[in-house]
Structures are given as structure tokens and as C-alpha cells.
Amino acid sequence: MSETTALTRQAQKERTRQAILDAALELSGTVGFAQVSLRQVTREAGVVPTAFYRHFSSMDDVGLALVGQSFETLRAMIRDAQRDPDTFADIIDASAEILVRVVKQNKAHFGFVARERTSGSPLVREAIQRELELFISELAVMLARLPNIDSWSGEDVKMASGLFVRNMVYRAEQVIGIPDGRTDLEEDIKRKARREMRLIVLGFRDWKS
């Protein structure tokens, strides 16, 4: 087998795998992931069940892969923020802007997490909770560079990170429900998110680990 042929087959395998994930994600937006069947997914993706089993062992396996994709979007958001010097110049305004923009661009994945973290299958729910805890830890590394926090204990920095993440999740769920074109509602969410984050940050100066 030539190298070109091998690369072509690998690319086809990746396209098939992504088609299955895209189909499951779209169907879950209507009925919830726990109600989506393997047969529905393969029909939507245009593949046969045997092709499904070349990539996933079960629908739970698909759910875990969707959790991974969804949180990679969050991690990309943090990486982008770290590369932008304006984020640290005014972390509150920047965070509100980034949150709304990224959620709008990835509504399907954020919607999946919002639905499944409370009502999904136990395996998917647990995976989402683990990813949220990991995301809190990753954000804490970024926050530890901020003034007033750099002398805190690691536990307290993680606590502050958790406050931000819980606020972010709540506001992200609101962004998901905004109809297209309602920039007034987007601005209202940004305003509220900024006020809430500012309230959190005001406590940083007086907190002692």
C-alpha cells in the first residue's frame, strides 16, 4: 500500500468518525442524547452499523467523544485568551466578550454539555463533571498570574476559578437560548456577566489564604 493510499484511507476513516459524531450531536439537540439510538445515528450519518463499530463500541462511547470535543472548545477559548494581552489588561470585559462569541460559534457543543450535565446518561454526566473539574484546574493556572492572587494557596486559586467557571456555565446556557439576531439580549448577558465577575474580583484584594 502506498503512502498516499494510506493517507487517503485514514482521511476517510476520520470523515466517517466525524460524520457519526456530527449526526449524534444534531439528533441529541432534539431529543437528548440518552434517547438517540445507534440506528438513528447511522441513518443520519449515511453509514452502515458495521462502519459505526469500527469507530465506537457503543453510544456511550460516542457520548464520551462528544464530551471531549465540547471541552476542547473551552480549552481553545482559554488558550486564545492567554495569547491576547488585552485579556489581562481587562480580564472582566475580555472574558464576557470571549464567552458570548465562542458560545455563539459552538452552540451545538455547548448545548450538548448544558443538557447532558444534568439529564444525560450517568456515564456522560460523570465525564462532564470530570471535565469541568479539570477545566477549573486549568483556568486556575491562568488566574494565578493575576495581581492579588499570586500569593494565594493553590486551593484558594482553584476556589476562585470555580466561581468563574460556574458563572460562565450559567451565562453560556443563556447564550445558547438567544434567537439569532438578538444582539440586545447578548449585550444584556455580557453586562450581567461583567457585574458578577467584578463582584468576585472585588473580593480578591481582601482575601487571605
86 and 122 inside one domain: yes
144 with 172, same domain: the answer is yes
Phi-psi region of 26 (alpha: psi -120 to 50; beta: other; left: phi over 0): alpha
Domain residues for the domain of 69 are 58-202
Question: Is the same domain home to 160 and 66?
Answer: yes
Is 207 a member of any domain? no
Question: Are 120 and 186 members of one domain?
Answer: yes
List pLDDT tens digits, range 95-107: 788 888 888 888 9
Last residue of a domain, one of 37, 56, 75: 56
- Domain annotation covers residue 52: yes
SS3 content of the chain, % helix, strand, coil (to 5): 80, 0, 20
CATH number at residue 40: 1.10.10.60
Q: Is the pLDDT of residue 32 over 60?
A: yes
Q: Are residues 111 and 34 in the same domain?
A: no
What is the residue-averaged pLDDT of the chain?
Answer: 86
- How far apart (Å, rounded) are the C-alpha atoms in residues 48 and 50? 5
Average pLDDT over residues 176-203: 90
Lowest mean pLDDT among 9-18, 88-97, 180-189, 200-209: 88-97
Q: Let me know whether 81 and 145 are in one domain.
A: yes
pLDDT at res. 125: 92
Q: Are residues 177 and 82 in the same domain?
A: yes
Task: Give pLDDT, residue 206.
Answer: 77
So what's the pLDDT on residue 174? 93
Q: Are 130 and 169 in the same domain?
A: yes
Neighbours of 122 (CB within 10 A): 9
Nearest to 64 by CA among 114, 128, 16, 117: 128
Can you give the pTM of this predicted structure?
0.81
CB 21 within 8 A of CB 52: no
83 has pLDDT over 80: no
